[in-house]
């Protein structure tokens, strides 16, 4: 049984989260390094699924960032065709992540680190996916 990698894709940074018991942040990397990072990660870790955060608007229509994310998803599927890709609604994950940092008492200087928001967002994407799948299995 492998890990699930949740991905909060961004044009500058991409957050990832690998576990499926309790969602936990892995890292934030420059988006340009993502495929190099994940290729090396796959050498020592079995991954059974990629879950990519998919930004929808309140009216359930895709946001303007979809064109970048769709391209990323297509590349992900081409490079790793043996690993399925699922999409998870990522609405509000960045604002929830920022609120979690505030609630957790993170100092203002640390809150400026956008990578932390990306890691928390990936964690929220994975948690949302796991909860949704768990409900469907009941």
Tell me if 66 sits within 8 A of 96, measured CB to CB: no
CB 69 within 8 A of CB 87: no
pLDDT tens across 65-107, in order?
A: 888 999 999 999 999 999 999 998 887 777 777 777 777 787 8
Kindly indicate whether the domain formed by 3-137 is annotated with CATH number 3.30.420.140.
yes
The whole-number pLDDT of residue 20 equals 56
Domain ranges of the chain: 3-137
Question: What is the distance between the alpha carbons of residues 95 and 117, in angstroms, rounded to a whole number?
Answer: 9
Residue 42 banded pLDDT, cuts 50, 70, 90: very high
Q: Are 88 and 125 in contact (CB under 8 A)?
A: yes
Residue 15 pLDDT: 55
Length of the chain: 138
DSSP state of 16: E
């Amino acid at each position: 049984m492998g890990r699930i990698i949740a991905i909060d894709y961004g044009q500058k940074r991409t957050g990832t989260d690998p576990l499926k018991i309790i969602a936990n942040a892995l890292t934030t990397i420059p988006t340009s390094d993502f495929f190099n990072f994940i290729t090396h990660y796959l050498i020592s870790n079995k991954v059974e699924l990629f879950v990519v955060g998919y930004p929808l608007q309140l009216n359930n229509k895709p946001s303007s960032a979809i064109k970048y994310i769709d391209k990323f998803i297509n590349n992900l599927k081409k490079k790793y065709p043996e690993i399925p890709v699922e999409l998870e609604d990522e609405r509000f994950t960045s604002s929830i992540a920022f609120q979690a940092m505030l609630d957790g008492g993170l100092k203002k200087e640390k809150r400026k680190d956008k990578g932390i928001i990306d890691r928390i967002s990936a964690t929220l994407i994975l948690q949302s996916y796991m909860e949704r799948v768990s409900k469907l299995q009941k």
